[in-house]
Structure 1
Amino acid sequence: MITINQGDRIYHPGHGLGVVKSIRKKSFFGEDKAKFVKLYFERDDLTWLVRANNLPNTIRTTMSPKEARKILKHLKSWEGTLSEQWKTRATANQAAIDKGDPYGYAEVVKGLSLMQEQGSLSATDRRHLNLGIKYLCEELSNALGKTQARVRQLIEKATSSQPSAA
C-alpha cells in the first residue's frame, strides 16, 4: 500500500493519471468513521471515493523523470520476443496492460511494433499496441513535461528496428 497525501498525483492502470482530491473521515449508515480517499482521474472524468484501507494495490505514485528515461531506455534495448501463438500472446499482453507496470507496457509496445514492421497485426494485437502506446504516452509525458505527441515520437524512435537517420 502506498502512502498518499491530498494533492498527490497517482496512477491507476484502468483510469490513468489521477490526483488525490481529499482524505477525510466519514461515517455512513451509522458505521464508525472510516478514512476515505477521494480520487479524480482526468482520462475518464471519474471521481472515485474509496476507503483508504481498500485502495486497490494497482494504484501507485507517478514515475519520476529519471524513471521515465529508464523506461525509454528499456523500450529501446528490450530484445525479448512475444509468443507466436496469438492466444498466448494476447493473454500475456492483456495481463501486462492490466498490471499497470510501465516496463510491461514498454515490452508490449516494443514486441508488437516489431511484429507490425514484419507484417500485419490481428485486431487484438492492434488494440494492445494502441493501449500500450496510449498509457506510455500519458505517463511519460507527465513525467518528462513533454507533449504526448513528442513522447509518441520518442516511443516510435525507440521501438523501430530501422537505424535512425543521422
Structure 2
Amino acid sequence: MNQGDRIFHPGHGIGIVESILKKSFSGEDKTKFVKLYFERDDLTWLVRANDLPSNIRFPMSAQEAKKIIKHVKSWQGKLSEQWKTRSTANQAAIDKGDPYGYAEMVKGLSVMQEENPLSMTDRRHLNLGIKFLCEELSSALGKTQERVQQLIEEASRSKPTAA
C-alpha cells in the first residue's frame, strides 16, 4: 500500500491512502501508520499498518465491475426463507465487503421484493447492498451512481439465463 492508492472498506466505501508515516506513542518505538480518508463519511482514519483491517482491499477494475453486473443478472441462487438465517447471512456479506456477496444479496432480495413486501431488515440490507455496489461500480466504470443503480436494478429484474 502506497500514498495515493485508492482503497475500499465495506463500512466506509472508497478511500485514499493520504500518507504513510512513522510515529511514537507512549514510549513505543516509531511505528508505521497509514492515514486513510473516506469521502463518503468525511472520515480520516489513522491506523497502525500492522492493524489494517483484513477487509480493506483495492477497489475493483472496470473489467471486474462488468463481471459483477453479469453476476447479478445470471445468479440463480435463492436466499433463505428463514428471516433470521437470511439476515445473518446478509449482514455477514456486508461485513465481509465482497462485491459478489453484495450482488447475490441484492439479486435475492430484489426477487423476494417482487413477490412480497420486504421486512425492515431486508429493506435495509437491500439498500446497503445497492449503495455499496453503486459506489464501487461507479468508480470502476466511470459512470454516475444513479446510472449504475439503473444497471443493477435492470440486472436484478431480468430472468436468469439458462446454464
Length-normalised TM-score, structure 2: 0.96
* CA RMSD between the two structures: 1.1
Q: Which residue of 1 aligns with 2:82?
A: 85
SS, match of residue 60 in structure 1: coil
1:34 matched to 2:31? The reply is yes
1:45 matched to 2:39? The reply is no
Q: Is the 8 A contact 1:114 1:161 kept in 2?
A: no
Return the match for 1:151 from 132, 148, 151.
148
Q: Which residue of 2 aligns with 1:64?
A: 61
How many residue pairs were aligned?
160
Q: Is the 8 A contact 2:73 2:159 kept in 1?
A: no
Length-normalised TM-score, structure 1: 0.94
Identity of aligned residues (%): 78
Q: Which residue of 2 aligns with 1:100?
A: 97
Give the deviation of 1:26 after TM superposition: 1.0
Give the deviation of 1:30 after TM superposition: 1.9
- Runs of 5+ unmatched residues, structure 1: none
SS, match of residue 130 in structure 2: helix
Q: Is the 8 A contact 1:109 1:133 kept in 2?
A: yes
Q: Distance in 2 between matches of 1:25 and 1:127?
A: 40
Q: Which residue of 1 aligns with 2:52?
A: 55
Q: Distance in 1 between matches of 2:77 and 2:118?
A: 18
Structure 1 stretches (4+) deviating beyond 6 angstroms? Answer: none
1:35-69 deviation digits (Å, cap 9, x = unpaired): 10000011111100001011000100000000000
- Runs of 5+ unmatched residues, structure 2: none
